[in-house]
Amino acid sequence: MSESSPLSIGEAEEMLDGLPLVAVLSGSIEEMKRMRAQCLAAGIPVLMGCPPGAGKG
C-alpha cells in the first residue's frame, strides 16, 4: 500500500492500535469528521472518538 492510498476506518484503527495518540481539543463534530475523511482519503491513519473519562464530572 502506498502512502497516498485511501484508508478505511478499520485499517486506520489497526495501524494505530497501541500507539500514542494526539488529542484534538477543540472544533465542531462536523470539522472533526471532515478532517478524518480528508486524512483517510490521503492515506493518513486517524481516529475519532471521545477520550476515556470525557464528559464525566
How far apart (Å, rounded) are the C-alpha atoms in residues 14 and 25? 23
> What's the pLDDT score for residue 12?
94
> What's the pLDDT score for residue 43?
95
Mark the ranges of the chain whose per-residue pLDDT is less than 70: 1-3, 50-57
> What's the pLDDT score for residue 1?
45
> What's the pLDDT score for residue 56?
58
How far apart (Å, rounded) are the C-alpha atoms in residues 18 and 57? 27
